[in-house]
């Protein structure tokens, strides 16, 4: 199949075809670059029929060129291994399924399905890990305002990802990044004002260091609430 018109995708597909030839089955772009963030590198999933050490060595020789072209190191997998690992990485693959663009070959998601039970367990692990991180991180700040602010900023992107996963858990299909994030917050019954403040940090990566206590206490409460929601979730 022909590669779609995408400059970085065309360059990567050409390189991969030289390495894998007819073994190259699919090249799928996903992530912030295809969702409008022109500063982000292009992230891609590559599925092949077989994968050898020689293939990895050939890709390693091209890694420097890809980095200079703003192409992230591709996630490369044998196609059968991808099919068997959907239960192991439901959040990661679910995010790719949510918003992606097939740059070469066929879509690997036409028949791929993530079990809701696998997704719920992964969401539970993610939200509870996030909660532990916030609590432990706060202790490590020693109560110093700049450190608390840095903790909140650094956790904004993982929090947004949590909300997208909650939306997916509840069957939200939209590929729009901000819309699906906000839908997740709404479905969990979270305070929209605090959610908006945190999501703004993901985009701007800044927070007033003079009053970090304004965000941290209600933010921590939001994550505790989110953990309870996921604990109580059941498929419709």
Per-residue pLDDT band at 224 (split at 50, 70, 90): very high
User: Who contacts 205 (Cβ-Cβ below 8 Å, separation ≥6)?
Assistant: 153, 156
* pLDDT at residue 3 is higher than 80: no
The listed CATH number (3.30.460, 3.30.1360, 1.10.3470, 1.20.120) that belongs to domain 7-105: 3.30.460
pLDDT at 5 over 60: no
Beta bridge partners, 100, equal: 30
Per-residue pLDDT, 17: 93
**In terms of pLDDT, which residue wins out, 38 or 153?**
153
* pTM for the model: 0.69
Is pLDDT larger for residue 146 or for residue 4?
146
CA angle 59, 52, 41 (to 5 degrees): 30
CA distance 127 to 124: 5
Domain ranges of the chain: 7-105, 116-232
Whether the per-residue pLDDT at 4 is higher than 60: the answer is no
The rounded Cα 16 to chain-centroid distance in angstroms is: 23
């Amino acid at each position: 199949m022909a590669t779609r018109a995408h400059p970085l995708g065309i360059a990567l597909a050409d390189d991969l075809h030289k390495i894998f030839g007819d073994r190259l089955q699919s090249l799928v772009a996903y992530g912030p670059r295809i969702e409008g963030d022109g500063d982000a590198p292009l992230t891609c999933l590559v599925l092949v029929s077989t994968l050898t050490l020689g293939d990895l060595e050939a890709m390693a020789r091209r890694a420097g060129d890809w980095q200079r072209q703003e192409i992230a190191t591709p996630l490369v997998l044998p196609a059968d291994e991808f099919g068997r690992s959907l239960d192991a990485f439901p959040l990661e693959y679910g995010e790719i399924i949510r918003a992606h663009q097939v740059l070469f070959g066929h879509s690997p998601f036409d028949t791929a399905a993530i079990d809701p039970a696998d997704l719920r367990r992964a969401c539970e692990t993610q939200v509870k890990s996030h909660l532990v991180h916030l609590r432990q991180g706060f202790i490590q700040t020693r109560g110093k305002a700049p450190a608390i602010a840095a903790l909140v900023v650094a956790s904004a992107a993982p929090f947004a990802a949590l909300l997208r996963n909650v939306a997916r858990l509840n069957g939200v299909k939209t590929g729009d990044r901000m819309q699906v994030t906000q839908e997740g917050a709404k479905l969990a019954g979270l305070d929209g004002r605090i959610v908006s403040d945190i999501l703004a940090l993901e985009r701007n990566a800044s927070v007033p260091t003079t009053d970090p206590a304004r965000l941290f206490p209600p933010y921590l409460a939001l994550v505790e609430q989110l953990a309870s929601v996921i604990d109580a979730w059941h498929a419709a």
